[in-house]
Chain A
Amino acid sequence: MSSATTTRPATAAPHPEAVRAPGKRPARRPGAALWALPPVAALALVFLYPLALVVWQSFSPEDGGHSTAPYAQVLAETSFRDALVTTVGIAAGATAGAVVLGSLLALIIAFVPFPGGRAFARFIDVFLSFPSFLITLALLFLYGTVGIANGLWSDVTGAASGPFDFLHTPWGVLLAEVTYFTPFVMRPLLAAFAQLETGQLEAAASLGARPARIVRTVILPEALPQLAAGGALVLVMCLNEFGIVLFTGAKGVVTLPVLVYTKAILDGDYTGACVVAVVNIALSVALYALYRYVMARTAAGGHRRAAA
């Protein structure tokens, strides 16, 4: 038997204070656009003009004129297709690794009190300022053929060489990129976790939710925008990463940025380099646009559902 009683009519009128009119912006003052001119001019000079030159050069075959022939030629090369696959594969793998590892570490730092946790959180900020090759160098000291790990192995077993020999492979590049880019996921996540209301976590726990369920159903969904932003940033940065690949010395790992370097500096094929560079830029922009589209749809979906 139910003891429930309704005492108030459950009207469905939206609360006037709670519903905002999305997309409404205050009217702009006339002449305000003039303030945008200096930064736009500076941007055009230092960024858009060189970018336009690269695009223009990519349509300029060495035998003169302008055509799409350089694209047809470069896109038909096996080395380009291999570099494209390698770039996307490593970027996707490194992003997945950084998102998983970054989420775990951020959860631990934010919600599991341990001595030195604050210092560790501050170190994340410092870590973001490190150059990427530094991480690769550190990994070389650790796992290089004459690194600490192999040295210890040799000392213990008496073997002439150690078992760690992966830094010059795609796995080495992947490890270095995951190590370097994980803090880029952690930083926005830590900021999101700091905004989470403790009361929500306590209410969830008192309702019977164990920690894993709270993470899965409360914490991560609320931090999803920041997680997506961090992941998208890492994905784009991984696509364009050059220093890590160069410093691992992985000869068999040719990514698009490495291919640009090879064509421009080693082969003297500037047009081919510009074609690869344009493809690389297009890839980055397309991924960023996809990220924005998905996030906008998610937010708009939420608003539509909310307004329904």
Chain B
Amino acid sequence: MTAPLTAPPSGIRFDGVQVAYGDTVVLDGLDLTVEPGEFMALLGPSGSGKTTALRAVGGFVTPRRGRILIGGRDVTDLPPYRRGIGTVVQNYALFPHMKVADNVAFGLKAQKAPREEIAPRVREALEMTGMAGYADRHPRELSGGQQQRVALARALAIRPGVLLLDEPLSALDATLRSDMMGELARLHRELPDVTILYVTHDQVEALTLADRIAVMDAARLQDCGTPQELYRRPRTAFTASFVGTANLLPVTVADGGVDLAGQRLTVPTGDAVPGATATLCVRPHLVGVGAVPAADGNTLRGTLTGIQWRGATHRLTAEISGHRVLADVRELREPPALGAGIDLHFAPGDAVLVPAQLAGGADV
């Protein structure tokens, strides 16, 4: 009988965390709670502050303001070696002079685990990641995907309550990345008590793996919610454009709908005040080709300016009242010619109003 593979569940709380280098603020006023056992993805472009947030949890950067709590304990001023966190980074960061087993045992020895416990726990962590047959290898003898599994095993061997993953799949090719995503999802299922903070700029990884996604941009938290919420009901134009592909159209709120360049569209407006400007968000795969009766949806008439064959689908690009609109439709047997007039439609319930953004148009 061995002990459970992880420590008691520990959540993470960012409480107004600000990190700055001189006058440059790289993380500004982050308030975020990651529940115990939750898989939270920090998603954003380069320079958005997501890695800084993760490094602040790890203790590798010191916040100028705010507190960080892990399992209710304030760790803001604790050095990394006293936080009990597992870390996996993009380039694996395995110790090249140690064999796989020694790499995995490193944390156990550092934490002075009883000698008789080390070998079973190393074996357990390697089995967990499917690397039990590689214990006597050196890292240089392993592929990138295998090295990343060892890095995961090394982090899991100390039974951390919190696991920090900093773009762990970025260095892998597409096939390996897909395999590893499956492995990470399985690990999350099998280790429900481990709280995972996962930094990525890849929306597919975030949508596939995370329980919730925190969208970051320009050193700030822009949005936070489940992948479905963020995809179907984004709260900002940035979220709509960064999480998936979106048509973002500048509109004016009217009674029972919105006006797009003089055309009335029926969409839910929520609390929006008539006359206010807003951005209408419609996902390309929810846009169909052809006109529909007004009772069934909104029809947009424009000109076809682009067509891409994508195997199972066609991506159509149309110009409608000066705005670019994308439609992902099932492969067309007879695609229309470029420059031809085209009708596109979408259902009222498939559109979402978000606060106005400066630049309109589709964001791919």
Residues of A within 8 A of B (CB): 1-12, 14-15, 17-19, 197, 199-200, 202-210, 213, 217-218, 221-222, 224, 302, 305-306, 308
Contact = CB atoms under 8 A, between A and B. Distances in A.
Given A7-B186, A206-B85, A18 B136 contact: no
A18 B143 contact: yes
Given A2-B124, A18-B143, A199-B91, 9 more contacts: A6-B128, A10-B130, A14-B141, A197-B93, A203-B88, A206-B155, A207-B154, A208-B111, A305-B99
Given A3-B190, A5-B128, A10-B130, A15 B106 contact: no
A15 B131 CA distance: 13
A306 B140 contact: yes
B127 to A, nearest CB: 5
Nearest to A306: B138
B333 interface: no
B52 to A, nearest CB: 13
Contacts of B59: 205-206
B141 A209 contact: no
Contact of B190 (A5, A204, A217, A218): A5
B133 A10 contact: yes
Nearest to B193: A3
Given A208-B107, A218-B95, A15 B87 contact: no
A204 B4 contact: no
B254 interface: no
5 contacts: A203-B154, A204-B95, A207-B110, A209-B110, A306-B137
Given A10-B131, A18-B143, A200 B93 contact: yes
Contacts of B132: 6, 10
Contacts of A222: 95-97
A201 to B, nearest CB: 8
Nearest to B112: A208
Contacts of A205: 59-60, 79-81
A222 B183 CA distance: 31
A206 B141 contact: no
B81 A208 contact: yes
Contacts of A202: 58, 60, 80, 87, 89, 93
A33 B238 CA distance: 65
Interface in B135-191: 136-138, 140-143, 146, 151, 154-155, 158, 164, 183, 186, 190-191
B98 to A, nearest CB: 8
Contacts of B126: 10
Report which residue of B59, B84, B133 has the largest number of chain A beta carbons within 10 angstroms of its beta carbon.
Answer: B133
Contacts of B142: 15, 18
A12 B133 contact: yes
A1 B2 contact: yes
Report which residue of B81, B97, B130, B183 has the largest number of chain A beta carbons within 10 angstroms of its beta carbon.
Answer: B81
Contacts of A204: 95, 106, 110
Nearest to B6: A3
B80 A15 contact: no
Kindly list the 7 A-B residue pairs having the minimum CB-CB distance in the complex, ordered from nearest. A10-B133, A207-B107, A199-B93, A8-B130, A205-B80, A209-B110, A208-B110
Contact of A206 (B86, B124, B183): B86
Interface string B55-81: 000111000000000000000000111
B315 interface: no
A15 B100 CA distance: 14
Nearest to B84: A208
Contacts of B137: 14, 306
A305 B138 contact: yes
B1 interface: yes
Contact of B95 (A6, A11, A200, A308): A200
A203 B87 contact: yes
A276 B69 CA distance: 70
Contacts of A217: 95, 106
A268 B246 CA distance: 94
A202 B92 CA distance: 11
A297 B164 CA distance: 39
Contacts of B90: 199
Contact of A207 (B2, B106, B130, B136): B106
A297 to B, nearest CB: 15
B83 interface: yes
Contact of B5 (A2, A18, A199): A2
B81 A210 contact: yes
A209 B106 contact: yes
Contacts of B79: 205
A199 B90 CA distance: 9
